[in-house]
């Protein structure tokens, strides 16, 4: 058994375009988006637009994150008896500590609120992964260790995140990073939650497995003036490829957490040119954030779930997938998937 093989078993997803994984992924596949006006106005006097999740009861802050997280987790655990939930570790991905406007209580209260909303307990080996978009790859890496040690049959990786809060919006607006009528080089904020149930790969036909994970750091971040070469992302990509023992001669496609800023699209292009050694005519790039907005860890989780859905519904353009994630502080991660 390849120690890197980790099977994707089931998913749950809550976004502005769907309150379940099938609904969200169908909307994303059709390039549907659903932005709406927030309660906040920008410096230009216009309402700030965002991809907001519409729930039955209006909620904000930690309460909304817990509600969305519980919905996604319950969907991902559908078919697993509740009596077995305490045997499943929950690795909860949240915003990185340096995120502007980060909510109080993320590190110590959100997990408890989600358990309370589900009336459930998860395994003591559960943990908070506070690494933003890159956190989903870090959580998969930890999940692989938990499953590989034969300690657990299944591990649940989840994410709940939001950029829709005034302290966060005001910071990114001052940095000219929000998409507005006057700034085309920016992202539209969003929110959401997702959950991915993983377990030991059985190698059965049609299974989607994580076969490689790589990490690195990029010195030329979006917030400094160093020349961008894409070295960090390329290094993470090469590390994951080495672990999976395959190269980019394989027919594959990409899914990334790109949300509209030119910096990250340029980085993705540069990194690919450094990792690939020959001209590739067709290399599809999917970015779910175009439908759900920039939602941090939740956007990254959506990438994994979109890949799983495309594989199981058999509309993925290739058996091999390259998923890459980037934090503003320079952290980079790559996850490789393969349909057996």
Superfamily of 208-339 according to CATH: Thiolase/Chalcone synthase (3.40.47.10)
- Domain 6-200 class, CATH top level: alpha beta
Query: Cβ(127)–Cβ(91) under 8 Å?
Result: yes
Domains 6-200 and 208-339 alike in fold: yes
Which candidate, 264, 79, 152, places its Cα nearest to that of 144?
A: 152
In the chain, domain spans:
6-200, 208-339
Sign of CA dihedral 13, 16, 19, 25: negative
Enumerate residues 6+ apart whose C-beta is below 8 A from 239: 214, 215, 216, 334
Model's pTM, two decimal places? 0.96
Query: Cβ(134)–Cβ(332) under 8 Å?
Result: yes
Walk along the chain (340 residues) and give the pLDDT tens digit of each residue. 445 479 999 999 999 999 999 999 999 999 999 999 999 998 888 999 999 999 988 899 999 999 999 999 999 999 999 999 999 999 999 999 999 999 999 999 999 999 999 999 999 999 999 999 999 999 999 999 999 877 899 999 999 999 999 999 999 999 999 998 889 999 999 999 999 999 998 878 889 999 999 999 999 999 898 999 999 999 999 999 999 998 777 778 999 999 999 999 999 999 988 887 767 677 899 999 999 999 999 999 999 999 999 999 999 999 999 999 999 999 999 999 999 8
- Full DSSP string of 287-321: -THHHH-B-THHHHHHHHHHHHHHHHTT--S-SEE
Q: How far is CA 205 from CA 103, 201, 202, 339, in A?
A: 43, 11, 9, 8
């Amino acid at each position: 058994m390849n120690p890197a093989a980790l099977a994707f078993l089931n998913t749950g997803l809550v976004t502005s375009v769907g309150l379940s994984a099938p609904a969200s992924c169908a909307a994303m596949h059709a390039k549907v988006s659903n932005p709406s006006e927030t309660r906040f106005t920008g410096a230009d006097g216009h309402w700030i637009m965002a991809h907001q999740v519409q729930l039955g009861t209006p909620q904000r802050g930690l309460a909304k994150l817990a509600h969305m997280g519980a919905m996604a987790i319950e969907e991902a655990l559908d078919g697993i008896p509740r009596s077995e939930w305490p045997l499943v570790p929950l690795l909860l991905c949240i915003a990185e500590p340096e995120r502007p406007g980060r909510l109080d209580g993320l590190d110590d209260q959100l997990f408890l609120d989600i358990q309370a909303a589900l009336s459930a307990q998860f395994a003591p080996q559960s943990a908070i992964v506070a690494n933003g978009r890159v956190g989903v790859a870090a959580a998969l890496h930890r999940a692989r260790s938990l499953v590989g040690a034969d300690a657990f049959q299944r591990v649940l990786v989840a994410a709940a995140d939001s950029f829709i809060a005034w302290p966060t919006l005001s910071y990114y607006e001052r940095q000219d990073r929000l998409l507005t009528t006057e700034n085309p080089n920016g992202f539209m904020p969003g929110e959401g939650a997702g959950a991915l149930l993983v377990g030991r790969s059985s190698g059965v036909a049609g299974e989607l497995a994580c076969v490689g994970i790589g990490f690195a750091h990029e010195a030329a971040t979006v917030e400094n003036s160093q020349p961008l070469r894409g070295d960090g992302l390329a290094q993470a990509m090469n590390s994951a490829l080495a672990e999976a023992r395959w190269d980019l001669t394989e027919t594959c496609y990409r899914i990334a957490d790109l949300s509209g800023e030119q910096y990250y699209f340029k980085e993705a292009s540069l990194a690919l040119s450094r990792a690939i050694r020959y001209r590739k005519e067709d290399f599809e790039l999917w970015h779910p954030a175009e439908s759900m907005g920039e939602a941090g860890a939740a956007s990254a989780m959506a990438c994994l779930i979109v890949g799983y859905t495309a594989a199981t519904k058999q509309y993925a353009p290739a058996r091999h997938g390259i998923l890459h994630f980037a934090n503003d502080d320079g952290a980079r991660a790559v996850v490789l998937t393969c349909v057996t």
